[in-house]
Structure 1
Amino acid sequence: MSGDLILVLNCGSSSIKFALFEARSEALARRPLWNGKVQGIGGPTPDFGETSIPVRRVQLDAEHPYTAALQLIREQVDQRLQGRRLVAAAHRVVHGGKRYFSPTLVTAEIIDDMRSYIPLAPLHQPFPLEAMGVLLAQHPELPQVACFDTAFHHDLPLVEQILPLPYSIWKQGLRHYGFHGLSYEYMTHVLPERYGDLAQGRVIVAHLGSGASLCAMQGLQSVATTMGFSALDGLMMGTRTGALDPGAVLYLMEIDKRSLQDVGHMLYHQSGLLGVSGLSSEPRVIVQHENDPGERGVRAQLPLALALYVRRIVREIGALTAVLGGLDLLVFTAGVGEHNAFVRERVCRDLAFLGVELDDDVNAGNAGNAALISTPDSRVRVAVEPTNEEWVVAQHALMLLSKPQM
């Protein structure tokens, strides 16, 4: 496949991230040849940003903006082929349910089947399926590969998979799935390269972005993770609740008389940092106003939002450390984990009981570059590691396409 290329698409509700990788039989280069994103899809001011080129405004068909955004990306890809062949489009798909736990060639039937998992990840699941459908209609000759965020956790220990519901529910396929698997899978490649045998030990990776979860790994395998049946579980997030007493949901519906749709919207879109702070879903925005004088600064919910956000992370790290029987390496990744030193500082401060000692100068100076940010005396090593989900997706697509098809 020398000279051939793979296009990776990571599709959200209002943005499409893209990356173009060389499809080589030898080790796949981790840096894409070209990448960027279309954002603001469906809004009044969509824009297009790519490697080393300033963001520019674009015009998208108002009736079919998503299709238009995909067409824009495909036109830009065609300009970069320069005689080379695009051999596949590969997609990150958040939920594979009980059927999909390995990379899968996309067909119309599989797209229809994957729609059944939309209720489990309504913020994410519909959009790669829409992109697959558009590409299948416009370019039926182009192979497409779906790669699933839930796949990495497919072999969790049974005691971590099962939910405390009647056993008949388990037989229906309701289980603890886990998410952000493509990010965690990338860590299984890069952490051994940087930290050797330490990466094979008791490791917790904190994927902190607009969505957030933790994964406890031992021997580079997932042994426990905070997100469960849906992408609502676990840590407090930008707009999502994280773990919540189900009695609170029942109360909102039975006593407060809120509809299922209203409660669902609250849990996914109006909670988390945004809901508690009343200001923003971004920690970096909230912290700028945390100590402001005046009306905004005196509101108790600003410092409380960050305190709760950190507390939930610390609590879950403690729980996963208990499952692992100790902790050797803690890794921060994703947008918040990589770029918010104050979040890392507050989390590590509250983990001092584990022997975590942060090098404040190194932590404050880290801007998303891979770095060990703990002191030499820290009993737990603490690192920042940028994630690379697109590379994992490209690698899976290459391996699948290289196999003889039955």
Structure 2
Amino acid sequence: MTARRLAAFLALPVCLIASPALAAPGGLLAHQTTLELNEASSAWILTSTALVLLMTLPGLALFYGGMVRKKNVIAAIAHSTAALAIVTVLWFAVGYSLSFGVGPEPVNGFIGGLQAAFLDGVMPTTAHSLSPGLPEFLWVAYQLTFAIITPALIAGAFAERIKFSASILFFFLWHLLVYVPICHQVWGGGWLGSWGVLDFAGGAVVHVNAGVAGLVAALVLGPRHGFGRDNMAPHNLAFTAIGTGLLFVGWLGFNAGSAWAADSIAAVAALNTILAAAAAAIGWTAVEWIDHKRPTLLGLLSGIVAGLVGITPAAGLVDPKGAFFIGILSGPACYAGAVWLKRALKYDDSLDAFGVHGVGGIVGALLTGVFASAAINPVGEGADIVKQALGLLAVIVWSGVGTFVILMICKFTVGLRVTKEEEIEGLDYTQHGETIHQ
């Protein structure tokens, strides 16, 4: 069977399902509108797409690569790289359509349809109804970068002990069964967004979602060999510092790009992002200084990321005073999650995926309900901390249960963990046959 015939065979079931919906009235799919090109906004979102892609590779890859031990650097970077490759192909095939397409009622509240599978019906003249000024191809690309980084964040929780084959299967299933439904429910016309849950740039969809998944993965896999006894300090904080810088710069595209236009909301989102990151770095370092009697570079870097996470759901909804308070509270809260909670419960979240992204996302999402301002963004008028809390609960349950099921599938098919001997030798060599020299 030729490659072309194989691709056609694999695509047939999806195309058969999607085909009735392609003949929508007026030649447009249910989620589409005719493009009314805004060149300035399109230029900004093109730039933002590149910035957010930079966050995963090399940003997150270096951030995580510096935090693991030397024998696992390549494996950590491979996780980010694999997530990028797998999610991109899945997004093209069905992920975009299921996230931002329109499904039949009552299913549409939870998942979109397959009308745009393999980007059928997406044309240079179409736009998504959420962003009529942007070419739909650009909308697809920008939203793809969010889908890529989310599972890559989870890898920080199971670093240094998972089989690479298990991580591949996990990324594949998690994108389809967890990320895509939650993305649709919050951003794509599903029940959470329609109900009034606010998530400007991904506090729930990206960070709480990934953080909870990371916590479940850490609990299911169990601690690394020697956890609590051996020295597991980061092998290269210079890598982590460079990765943090790339994440910080990329986050401007993540948050300010989520205005979907080059406007005043994008401007305040950019300022809020920088301010919250700085405030959180101060907050984290202050608590760390009291707790450990000295400040660390890793603490400053972790505080910056904590602030970036905390402000994400609120970036274009709050004024700078609100951003400051979100940042100054996110730093200590994430320190408590990454240090005190992990110490108390004795679970091994290797690189603090839950402590930073889960806790920071929860804090930021809740405070969005407190600080959102209609004077900054009219959407903020509907802010409600009770709705935010219930929305978070829905995301936590879906992510937690879905992640556990996926991990069980991985466990009973390809297996989850490397052997004790392979873990001691290091995943770089045992999983990839490569080593890093420096």
Q: TM-score range by the shorter chain?
A: under 0.3
More strand, by proportion: 1
More helix, by proportion: 2
TM-score (normalised: structure 2): 0.26
